[in-house]
Amino acid sequence: MKGGYGKLRSLSNVLSTKCFRAEANKFITNKFISYHLDLKFETWQKNEINSIKPLVYGPENPRFLLISQAPSLQDWLNGKTSDSPDGGLVSAQNNFLVNDVLPAFGLSGKDLDLFRKNVFWAHTCNCYPWYRESTNIKSGKITRQDRLPGNKQIENCLSRWIDSLTRIGSLKAIVLMGEPATRLFPQLKEEAEGFTDLVRKMEIRNDIIEGIEILPIYHQSKKNRTFNDPVDRAVNNELKLLLKNKFAGWIE
């Protein structure tokens, strides 16, 4: 990716957003509303998830990309994505953008407009990647947990446009929030290096794409089990401080 082409002037040269939005909203209405109303009698086919066109849009001239893993089931059923007018939020109480993402950049709810003006927030997989079930050995209780996007889903979604997105002329940095996002840039990892090892280095790479800084961070969900480890909790706090200090420079 390094060198070889000039950057694009704006996001409008990359994506036809109205087409994606209209197609996805139609798909949601026809296929998923009954599933949302009655989980017992509707089946969400895996091939439908893999073939849906993603909802990807954001500011015309973003200063940096924030790439996370995937929307929640509720967000996807409601047709909401990270960059929708309400931030892809289900409710004020369940406000992932304000309560979890903004603080990672040293921001708060009052900085929401500043964030939206400068940040293109996309998912590696903009369709819901389904869930997995597990049974508690003692209680027998079945719980569901969102799956991470698979390589095929990432291939069908953001990886189709990542080369074009990284050529946006205004772009200064890319923040990769969570392991799936790092798969878009295999150059980040050395041999068998795992995601946790990669993040713990807290290394900003500027040698992969000319003129753009890349930083992997932990996914900021409070459900992230990584934060239970004292070492990684401390690393996350240091990453927040690093992001806070870099954010002002990125949006200049």
Please give the biggest Cα pair distance in the chain: 59
Question: Considering the entire predicted model, what is its pTM?
Answer: 0.75
Q: Tens-of-pLDDT digits for all 252 residues of the chain?
A: 444 334 444 444 444 444 444 444 444 444 443 333 333 333 434 444 444 444 455 677 889 899 988 877 666 666 665 656 555 554 555 578 888 899 999 998 889 888 888 988 888 887 777 777 788 888 888 877 778 888 888 887 788 778 888 888 999 999 999 999 999 999 998 877 899 999 999 999 999 999 999 999 999 988 888 888 999 999 999 999 999 999 989 988
